[in-house]
Chains A and B, each alone.
Chain A
Amino acid sequence: MNSTIAKKENHGWKAWLGSRQGQKVLVITTFMTLPLLLLFFFTYLPFGQMVGFSFFKMKYTGEKSFVGWDNYINVFKRKDCFGALKLSLYYMLGSVVQLALALYLATILSFKTKGGKLFKGFMFFPYLINGIAVGFIFKFFYTRGFVFDTVLQWCGFDLENLPYWLKDQAINNFSLVGTSVWRYFGQNMVLFIGAIMSVDATMYEAAMIDGANKWQQFLYIILPNIKNIVVLNVILSISGSLSAFEPPYVITDGANGTGTYFVIMHQIAHTQQKVGLASAMAVILLCIILLCTVLQKLLFKYVFKDVDDDSYSNEQAKKSKKAAKMAKKAAKMKTEVGR
């Protein structure tokens, strides 16, 4: 009996493959298998293992012994571990500045600008430089009496009054955050410009005909359309600032109170080879990041009430309706302002 069913299925299998539904399943499975496998092997599997490691006292090789929650308790007990998270406030501040700057410049550059391409190129350029080069560049840049000090002297500052940018603990974290903003604001800007440019051009035309000014175009056309990529970038930059790593790693190597949580974790994992403790640090940070993300999503839902990023299905239809509404709204506002 089983075999007859199998036969029947087998027979129907070909016909089913030819059908619309079958085609759909076929394309979905072929296109998604590899990405999902990669996602599993390089993200979720190691993550699972890392959670496992965090309950053991172990090195990369050799024996391991189960220690329960000890690693977690140690993360909170040790002064160098959890305290280092305070430094991420600097990076959070930096990422807010960076995103605002990127959005501002992207909006400017998405309207007609003389030499816009050149400006865009200059500002995007730092993103092209590799991390190690950035490290060398800024060690050089901040050295006493070198580039930064020279420029400030041109502006009338006295070298005597300038701090040691990488040694003075009152200022060195700002110096490092500055390098991070320097490096990434251009990339954010280009992402935003890309998103703004992919907005249906007829919307601008409609808005212009209806007499919407640039601010209104930004508010009612650009912003709603790039909402997704802005939200994504905000999420990425918050998690990015909690896990700030590169500037201190390549420039100061965590010296003089610039060791962020991850720099400390890297040292514990790879220099001291305390894999269990480092894993526990990673897991704790991940929980904090997830918590922040949830809070952030709630906030966004509260602020922009119509954010529902799970229902993309009717979006196309919604968008055109929305666009018409927006154009009308903008025109209405314009006439009101005119009066």
Chain B
Amino acid sequence: MTKDHGKTKQKIVNGIVSFFKYLSLVFFSFMAILPVVSCVITAFKTEEEYNTTNVMTLPKSFLNFSNFVDSFQQANMGRAFINSTIILICVLLISTLLGTQLAYVLSRFKFKGNGLIRNLFLVATLLPGIAMQIAVYKLMYTFGLINSLMGYIVMMCGTDVISIYIYMQFFDNLPISLDESATVEGANYFTIFYKILLPLLKPAIVTSCIIKGVATYNEYYCANLYLQDKKRFATVATSLYTFVGPLGSKYNLICAGLIISLLPALIIFITCQDQIYSGLTNGAVKG
């Protein structure tokens, strides 16, 4: 009898726990999308509607795309999308290759200076990026890398730490016996890395590429500083600066512009979401 009593009690506790679980999930999800939803609503309003209705009132039609067309043209977003694509591809390729290689060496080999190098990278995360730009700017100027996509790309690759930790954590959880059995079969370290470990790292690579990719796509401080020629070198993020100033209160136009700017990130996120999650859950260790 006490057993049954315990079971019903357990059930009630489980019920309460899952109630609060879903309540918190719903609440925080709502808070997360509310500001964006309000922008979507506003982006579809005509000027007249925007001036006369409350911001949370739905627009008459969700097919009014004139704001989007206007802001795409005014902010020169065609050029901006081309630039951002070039930057994104280069930065992701280079930093993934360098990051995985570095993590491989640091987590698989014992050598003098291993700890020192880890610490150098850790200390680098502590150096505030904005402050460093005072000196980096002079350096880039000296090397003639202002208004150069190449220079900006190299600089973006130079500051990449979080992903190293994701890779290292992943390496720590890949059994070392994988390496050992490959060694027995005569593979050298390069083969082990490229043929065996790199494919297994795919889930970690996808995750960190998304994180690094979003950071790169959204980066605006350095882009504003180093790609000053806005006609030729505007990125999607910096093209939004068009709306600072006289256009600053036309929120129907601004909201349309910023929704265009975050569409690519959203599309990539929605399509790659499955890949991240399944990649992370079916980690290589299981198979």
Q: Which residues of A contact B (CB under 8 A)?
A: 23-24, 26-28, 30-32, 34-36, 38-39, 41-47, 49-50, 53, 60, 101, 104-105, 108-109, 113-115, 117-133, 136-138, 140-141, 145-147, 150-151, 182, 185-187, 190-191, 193-195, 197-201, 228-229, 232, 235-236, 239, 242-243, 245, 262, 265-266, 269, 275, 278-279, 281-282, 285-286, 289-290, 293, 310, 312-313, 315-316
A47, A124, A140: the one within 8 Å of B39 (CB)? A140
Interface positions of B from 223 to 277, Cβ below 8 Å from A: 236-238, 240-241, 243, 251, 254-255, 258, 261-262, 265-266, 269-270, 273, 277
CB of B128 within 8 A of CB of A289, answer yes
CB of A228 within 8 A of CB of B159, answer no
A235, B126: Cα distance in complex, Å: 8
Q: Least Cβ distance of B245 to chain A in Å?
A: 13
13 pairs, CB–CB < 8 Å, chain A vs chain B = A27-B109, A31-B105, A35-B99, A60-B137, A105-B25, A109-B25, A126-B35, A131-B218, A140-B55, A150-B56, A198-B283, A266-B130, A312-B172
CB of A141 within 8 A of CB of B35, answer yes
CB of A105 within 8 A of CB of B28, answer yes
CB of A125 within 8 A of CB of B36, answer yes
CB of A282 within 8 A of CB of B21, answer no
4 new A-B pairs (CB below 8 Å) besides A35-B99, A119-B28, A310-B115? A42-B158, A123-B28, A129-B265, A316-B175
Q: Which residues of B contact A (CB under 8 A)?
A: 21-22, 24-26, 28-29, 31-36, 38-39, 42, 54-56, 98-99, 101-102, 104-105, 107, 109-111, 115, 117-118, 120-128, 130-132, 134-139, 141, 154-155, 157-159, 162, 165-166, 169-170, 172-173, 175-176, 188-190, 193, 204, 207, 211, 214, 217-221, 236-238, 240-241, 243, 251, 254-255, 258, 261-262, 265-266, 269-270, 273, 277, 280-281, 283, 285-286
Known: A35-B98, A195-B169. A245 touches B130 (CB 8 A): yes
Minimal Cβ-Cβ distance residue in A for B224: A132
Minimal Cβ-Cβ distance residue in A for B37: A147
A113, B17: Cα distance in complex, Å: 12
A316, B273: Cα distance in complex, Å: 30
Residues in A neighbouring B169, C-beta threshold 8 A:
195, 198, 228-229
A215, B287: Cα distance in complex, Å: 27
CB of B159 within 8 A of CB of A43, answer yes
Residues in B neighbouring A312, C-beta threshold 8 A:
107, 172
Main secondary structure of the interface of B (DSSP, over half): helix
Residues in B neighbouring A229, C-beta threshold 8 A:
165, 169
Residues in B neighbouring A147, C-beta threshold 8 A:
34-35, 38, 55-56
CB of A27 within 8 A of CB of B193, answer yes
CB of B56 within 8 A of CB of A140, answer no
A182, B31: Cα distance in complex, Å: 8
A122, B173: Cα distance in complex, Å: 29
A42, A141, A269: the one within 8 Å of B38 (CB)? A141
Q: Least Cβ distance of A248 to chain B in Å?
A: 12
Q: Least Cβ distance of B261 to chain A in Å?
A: 6
Minimal Cβ-Cβ distance residue in B for A108: B21
A266, B118: Cα distance in complex, Å: 30
Known: A108-B24, A150-B56. A282 touches B131 (CB 8 A): yes
B109, B121, B251: the one within 8 Å of A24 (CB)? B109
CB of A113 within 8 A of CB of B21, answer yes
CB of A39 within 8 A of CB of B121, answer yes
CB of A125 within 8 A of CB of B218, answer no
B32, B127, B175, B237: the one within 8 Å of A286 (CB)? B127
Residues in A neighbouring B28, C-beta threshold 8 A:
101, 105, 119, 123, 185
Known: A182-B32, A228-B169. A151 touches B218 (CB 8 A): no
CB of B262 within 8 A of CB of A128, answer yes
Residues in B neighbouring A133, C-beta threshold 8 A:
237, 240, 258, 261-262
Main secondary structure of the interface of A (DSSP, over half): helix
CB of B155 within 8 A of CB of A123, answer no
Minimal Cβ-Cβ distance residue in B for A187: B211
Q: Least Cβ distance of A292 to chain B in Å?
A: 9
B54, B125, B269, B277: the one within 8 Å of A128 (CB)? B269
A86, B125: Cα distance in complex, Å: 22
CB of B126 within 8 A of CB of A239, answer yes
A122, B132: Cα distance in complex, Å: 33
Minimal Cβ-Cβ distance residue in A for B102: A35
A50, A228, A266, A281: the one within 8 Å of B135 (CB)? A50
Residues in B neighbouring A262, C-beta threshold 8 A:
128, 130-131
Residues in A neighbouring B131, C-beta threshold 8 A:
50, 243, 262, 265, 278, 281-282, 285-286
Residues in A neighbouring B236, C-beta threshold 8 A:
130
A34, A53, A194, A235: the one within 8 Å of B207 (CB)? A194
CB of A194 within 8 A of CB of B166, answer yes
Q: Least Cβ distance of A245 to chain B in Å?
A: 5
A62, B167: Cα distance in complex, Å: 45
CB of B29 within 8 A of CB of A119, answer yes
Known: A23-B189, A35-B98. A125 touches B35 (CB 8 A): no
CB of A130 within 8 A of CB of B126, answer no
CB of B126 within 8 A of CB of A232, answer no
Minimal Cβ-Cβ distance residue in B for A266: B130
Q: Least Cβ distance of B182 to chain A in Å?
A: 13
CB of A36 within 8 A of CB of B117, answer yes
Q: Least Cβ distance of A18 to chain B in Å?
A: 9
CB of B105 within 8 A of CB of A126, answer no
CB of B102 within 8 A of CB of A32, answer yes
